[in-house]
Amino acid sequence: MSSRREATRHRLFEAAITLISEQGFGATSVDQIAERAGVAKGTVYYNFSGKAELYTALMEWGVQRLSDHLSAAVVGPPREALSSVLRTELEFIGTHESLARLLMAEAWRTRQTWYDTVRQIRAGAIGVISGLLEDLVEAGELPDDLDIGVAGSALFGMVLTVALDWRTLQPDRPLEEIHATLIRLVDGFLTR
């Protein structure tokens, strides 16, 4: 694939993320996306088979970015790694707010073409967290009869919800404060 084409696709992603996260998939027209990306409408169809495929590709591209960030944050002993992963999730959502809203809005929708893609995303992200919880169980810092799947989902949702509320309601607060509150809650889980 030529790099010119690659660049065009990238511009379309950036345009689509913002518009769709603000207005929703249905309310965003291909015209708007093309105009914002600075290309002709036909170019969207040259690069993607249609609006739905653009959306699916967009989410896959988003996943890759989130996964890469979270995985890179798994460093050091479990407790520190968990803290680092949660901070990274917060940071990612802060930086790529549009993408995060977009993922969340669709994450709860069943019977969509892209349902499987979204589920994959969630599984990947939650997997990183669940992996760390397992390490903590082995290290004796969590009881070994804890339901790791549910707990991972709980932590993921907690950070996500807090992050989006932070961006929506109190965008000026420093990330550090939010992170500190989250860590206090999570530390409560851990065996003392």
Partner DNA sequence: GATGAATGAGTTTTCATTCAT
Partner DNA sequence: GATGAATGAAAACTCATTCAT
Q: Specify burial of residue 102 (Cβ count, 10 A radius: 0-12, 13-18, 19+).
A: buried
Chain centroid to CA 64: 9
Closest CA to 158 of 116, 118, 129, 190: 129
Total chain residues near DNA (CB under 7 A): 24
Closest CB to DNA among residues 1, 75? 1
Which positions from 20 through 59 interact with a copy of itself, judged by CB under 8 A? 21-27
Near a copy of itself by CB under 8 A: residue from 53, 157, 175, 183: 157
Q: Which of a copy of itself, DNA, none does 184 bind, CB closer than 5 to 8 A by kind?
A: a copy of itself
CA 87/CA 92 separation, integer angstroms:
9
The type of residue at 159 is V
Closest CB to DNA among residues 52, 190? 52
Shortest distance, position 101 Cβ to a copy of itself, whole Å: 4
Which positions from 21 through 40 interact with DNA, judged by CB under 7 A? 27-31, 39-40
| Residue 29 and residue 84 in contact, taking contact as beta carbons nearer than 8 Å | no
Give the residues lining the site for DNA (CB under 7 A). 1-2, 4-5, 7-8, 27-31, 39-47, 49-52
